[in-house]
Each structure stands twice: as structure tokens, then as C-alpha cells.
Structure 1
């Protein structure tokens, strides 16, 4: 009786412990953008890091949407061996102005990477897809890139959930790039320097040499004259 009773009491405890253990398992890695921060108004290179979270299926495609409310004028894609990248553009309701005063009427809206049969992201592996962006907007503190991850078994994971401050992280958060205020460089005053004394020119040196030569000749002539006068004044023997 005691053994049976102990088993009945232990069963709910085991179930509770199993439930607690299941909830304590850390969440799988998400699709993220690395690094997670960049300066407003700057050009930067980021990588969309894509882990394969499946036990059996491999990742074959990644589609990333760039925010339509904050378009980026310049987008360049770094090639990934075994993957084909296609950038789709869309017309802008409000053209972007460049530093040269030109207008940009369309911008990249989505980038889709597709793997060939030898380049799939296998379970337990990850891949990075690098993109150069700029100039980054100055009127927002974050860019949210909604992403779709497709597996070879047909599963599509939608990384599109917004992460709200003060609330738990959603199950499938969208990759987010935080934008920080740029720090203006502090102007510095170069130390004052005293100009070095100019070296004498060749012409001035030659003039000085000629003057000294003339003085030497004059002194020599005077000495010769005095010597002649002294010789004349000697009494004859």
C-alpha cells in the first residue's frame, strides 16, 4: 500500500518537473543582423546570420525585406558561394536626395538568397549573408528587417514579429538593427610653430666673401706701405 501510494504521489511531481524542464530549455537561435548597432547617416556592412534550427531539414532559401518606411539608397550584396542572390526594387513615393542633389526614385525592397543542392544550411550549422547599406536614415532609431526562412521539407519560418520594449521577446522576432546618434568629431587647433630662421642664401654668402677679400687686400696694401716707409728711414751704414 505504501509503495502504491508513493507512486501515485510521485507521478504528479514527475510531470510537474518534466513541464518545468521543458519550459526551462533555452530558445533556439534566431535569424539576426550582425552587428546589431550602427550610426545614423553612416554607411555600414551587416550580416544576416541564419542558423538551421531543424533536426532533419536543411535551409534552402532566405528572403529579407528592407523597411519600406525608411528606404536605403545604396545596397550592395556580397556573394556567398553556392547561393544566388536576387535584389528586387520598388518605386519610392518620395524620392531620396543624394549629397550631389540627385534624386533616387527606386530602392531595394527585398533580397532573396537561394542555395544550390550543395550549399544548403544543414541542421546544427549557420550561414551569414552580408550586405552593405547606406546612408542609414537619421529619423529613426531602428531598422526592422522581416525575414522568411525556407527549409527543404517545405517549412517556412516567418521571422517577422516586432520586439516591444518591456515585453517578452516574441517567438520569431524580426532581425533589428539599432541606430545610434553619430558623434561629431571634436575640432582641434594645431599648435603654433615658430618659423625657423632662414638660412643665408648663396648670393649673400658670396657677397660676404668678396667683402672680406677686399678688406684683406686693403690691410695687406697698408702693411706693405708701412714696411716700405720703415725701410727708407733706416740710417745708412
Structure 2
């Protein structure tokens, strides 16, 4: 436990991955560590080769956020994101933490992770830089940089989904096509029967009327 506590007390990502080549939300968990001063600023550096075209920050009451950009040829990339407390009283101490979030992209393709070197500034002017990257899984740097995990993009062809939708649609269409003739034939037969019955009733009525008229003539004569 003596070793676990210091390892956990650093700026870190919450572990939510983002998609390679896409846009996603990065959440950084920042605990206060100084017993003498409050955390009043956080600067996150986007490393070279990670060319985010845009970054939008989640507002934090009592704090401001600035997205700094850098020219890369004829384009621009996000180079740094700086959060600053508007007043030292809005900082937080060693029994608290803050969540600093931003949405940005596109994230690079072909990488499993990206380290985001971060500087944590305190109200007494001191700065702690979280900018070290472990050389292997077994090692733990003293000041590790937060790591954002990148997931490979899903297969955009969507063969299974496309075939499933096509099969469903085709099945529905086939069902409608086969059901329609039977329904039409039943409907036609019904109306044909009604027409015949109606004709017979009309003939019967005519015969009955003719018989009555003839009987009246015979009676009257």
C-alpha cells in the first residue's frame, strides 16, 4: 500500500479509449498533491505527430480554458490546452481532485496510445511535470504522463450488417410479393360470388313482380 498510493496520485486519463483516425473525449483526472498549496492550473501538451484539428473543452466553474494552436505547413494543429483557475480560491487541495475534459480529433492512425505531457501548477508557484513514459509494462516512472488509449477503427465495410439488412429487406419484399396474388384471388372470388347472388336476387324479384301483376289482371277481368 505504501507504494500503491504514490503511483495513483498523478495526472491520469480515466481510461476511456478514443478511435484511431476519429474524434473522441479525453478525461484527465487531476488530484491535488501539495499539502501547502492548491492546484491552480493544468497545461496539457499535444505531442508532435498528433495533429488534432480541433479541441473543445468542458467548462469548469471558476476556471478558464485556452486552446493553443501551432502552424503546420498551410494548416494548424492543437499544440496545448491550458486550464487556469480565475482565482486562487478556486483551486483545489490535496484532499480533492478535478476532472479536465476535452473533445478533439482526429487522433492518429496506427498508434495504440498517445502520451499527453502535463504540467500541474500550484498556488505557491511550484510546478510538477507529468511527462515521463514507461519503457516497459513492468516499470513505473516517478512522474508518468497520462496515456490515452487508441482503438483501431471498426471495419467500415459493414459486410455482416449490410447483408443482414439486405436479407431482411429482401425477405420482406419476397413475402409481400408471394402473399399479394393469393389475397387478390380471394378478393376477386368474393366479389364474383356477390355479383352472381345479386343477379339471381334481381331476377327472382322481377319474376315475382311479373307474377303479381299477371294475377291482378286475371282477378280484375
- Residue number among 78, 81, 98 corresponding to 1:111 in the alignment: 81
Structural RMSD (CA):
3.4
1:215 counterpart residue number: 200
CA drift at 1:41:
2.7
CA contact (8 A) 2:33 2:94 kept: yes
* Alpha-carbon distance in structure 2 between the residues aligned to 1:130 and 1:147: 13
Distance 1:152 1:117, change over 3 A: closer
Runs (5+) with no aligned partner, structure 2: 216-221
- Residue number among 81, 84, 96 corresponding to 2:64 in the alignment: 84
CA contact (8 A) 1:53 1:123 kept: yes
Distance 1:24 1:221, change over 3 A: closer
CA drift at 1:36:
4.3
- Residue number among 142, 165, 168 corresponding to 1:190 in the alignment: 168
1:12 counterpart residue number: none
2:120 counterpart residue number: 149
- Residue number among 102, 115, 125 corresponding to 1:131 in the alignment: 102
**What secondary structure, in the 3-state scheme, does the structure 1 residue paired with 2:120 have?**
strand
- Residue number among 30, 33, 39 corresponding to 1:59 in the alignment: 39
| Larger mean Cα displacement after TM superposition, 221-230 or 165-174 | 221-230
Is 1:27 the counterpart of 2:12 in the alignment?
A: no
CA drift at 1:107:
1.8
CA drift at 1:199:
7.2
| Larger mean Cα displacement after TM superposition, 157-166 or 186-195 | 186-195
Looking at secondary structure, tell me which structure has more helix per residue. Answer: 2
So what's the TM-score if we normalise by structure 2? 0.75
1:48 counterpart residue number: 28
1:6 counterpart residue number: none
**What secondary structure, in the 3-state scheme, does the structure 1 residue paired with 2:89 have?**
coil
So what's the TM-score if we normalise by structure 1? 0.70
Specify the structure having the higher radius of gyration (Cα): 1
CA contact (8 A) 2:18 2:25 kept: no
- Length, aligned pairs only: 198
Is 1:175 the counterpart of 2:160 in the alignment?
A: no
CA drift at 1:79:
0.9
CA drift at 1:175:
0.8
CA contact (8 A) 2:39 2:92 kept: yes
